[in-house]
């Protein structure tokens, strides 16, 4: 096997993992793909004769590319307090897409990605690489020009923020769906008390309307406040289609063939602790929901038999 073919094979072997690293670092599918492509370009130009660990070399390249992208993004952001919803990964509740499942291993929900977006680039790299991909601090420290001890402190600080703001969802997807369905039914019926009952007292709702809506963002806290907002948005409930949003129970609101919003829910201890909403029309228009159409068609055929 010649060197080019060998490099192509090694890159293909590690591509899924590299894409997963980049998505967690950036919260953007397109930017993650750009970072992985940049890693391939560097690999194809590099003298790999002295590279003993190709997987580690590629992970380092992707991490550094992502780090630079995060730093550039931070310098351009006009308002650091804005909510920026990460790119949602939409899939059927019965799964069926191995690449998406690999991308979302460990339930990288929207709530977690939103919290990761509040970390400094160095904190995010240390947390993602060490806590999610078990990269030793001795290996990741040079990427952020810190000592292993300093990198450990960064990861620890990031971990505390993540655990406080993005609790782990209940593992039972069927139970998650029951809780989300109860929320939608209460919103549709305008049942304020039922909404409060299914929400955690400290629930947070984050919504990103994008530039088309003058960067209209919303952050609401508390069960009663979120319930009041849900009652006013109950008109969308009839258009809600069940889906997995970043591996957890969520909904996509579709009317007249147009996607109106994507909602991701974090259900912990049978209560909704976070609702993350993307209703930016520009970004919604780019979503590929063919997989849901296939699911709908299958459900319709089953019901007609």
Cα-based angle 25, 214, 82 (whole degrees, multiple of 5): 35
Buried b (16+ CB within 10 A) or exposed e, 233-262: bbebbebbbbbbbbbbbbbbbbeeeebebb
How does pLDDT run across 28-54, given as a tens digit for each residue?
A: 999 999 999 999 998 888 776 667 788
Q: What is the pTM of this model?
A: 0.84
Question: Where are the domains positioned within the chain?
Answer: 3-87+118-165, 173-304
- How many Cβ atoms from other residues are within 10 Å of residue 87's Cβ? 21
Please answer whether residues 205 and 219 qualify as being in contact, where contact means their C-beta atoms are separated by less than 8 angstroms: yes
Residue 225 three-state SS: helix
Please answer whether residues 63 and 151 qualify as being in contact, where contact means their C-beta atoms are separated by less than 8 angstroms: no
Q: Indicate the fold that domain 3-87+118-165 takes in CATH.
A: Butyryl-CoA Dehydrogenase, subunit A; domain 3 (1.20.140)
CATH number of 173-304: 3.10.450.50
Q: What is the reported pLDDT for 98?
A: 61
Q: Which portions of the chain are predicted below pLDDT 70?
A: 1, 48-50, 75-82, 95-107, 211-216, 290-305
How does pLDDT run across 223-269, given as a tens digit for each residue?
A: 999 999 998 778 888 888 999 999 899 999 998 888 999 999 999 99
Please answer whether residues 267 and 170 qualify as being in contact, where contact means their C-beta atoms are separated by less than 8 angstroms: yes
């Amino acid at each position: 096997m010649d060197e080019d073919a060998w490099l192509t094979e090694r890159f293909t072997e590690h591509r899924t993992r590299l894409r997963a690293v980049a998505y967690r670092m950036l919260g953007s599918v397109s930017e993650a793909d750009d970072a992985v492509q940049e890693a391939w370009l560097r690999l194809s130009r590099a003298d790999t004769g002295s590279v003993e660990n190709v997987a580690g070399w590629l992970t380092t390249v992707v991490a550094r590319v992502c780090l630079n992208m995060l730093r550039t993004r931070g310098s351009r952001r006009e308002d650091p307090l804005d909510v920026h919803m990460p790119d949602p990964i939409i899939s059927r509740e019965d799964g069926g897409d191995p690449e998406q499942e690999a991308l979302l291993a460990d339930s990288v929900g929207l709530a977690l990605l939103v919290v990761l977006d509040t970390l400094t680039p160095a904190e995010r790299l240390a947390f993602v690489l060490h806590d999610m991909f078990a990269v030793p601090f001795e290996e990741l420290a040079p990427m952020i020009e810190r000592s292993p001890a300093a990198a450990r402190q960064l990861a620890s600080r990031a971990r505390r923020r993540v655990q406080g703001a993005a609790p782990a969802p209940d593992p039972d997807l069927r139970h998650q769906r029951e809780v989300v369905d109860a929320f939608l039914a209460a919103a549709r019926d305008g049942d304020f008390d039922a909404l409060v009952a299914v929400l955690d007292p400290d629930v947070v709702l984050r919504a990103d309307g994008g530039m088309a809506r003058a960067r209209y963002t919303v952050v609401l806290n508390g069960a009663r406040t979120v319930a009041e907002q849900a009652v006013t948005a109950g008109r969308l409930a009839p258009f809600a289609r069940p889906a997995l949003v970043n591996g957890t129970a969520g909904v996509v609101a579709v009317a007249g063939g147009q996607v109106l919003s994507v909602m991701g829910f974090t259900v912990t201890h049978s209560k909704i602790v976070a609702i993350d909403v993307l209703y930016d029309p520009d970004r919604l228009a780019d979503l590929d929901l063919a997989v849901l159409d296939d699911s709908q068609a299958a459900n319709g055929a089953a019901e007609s038999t």
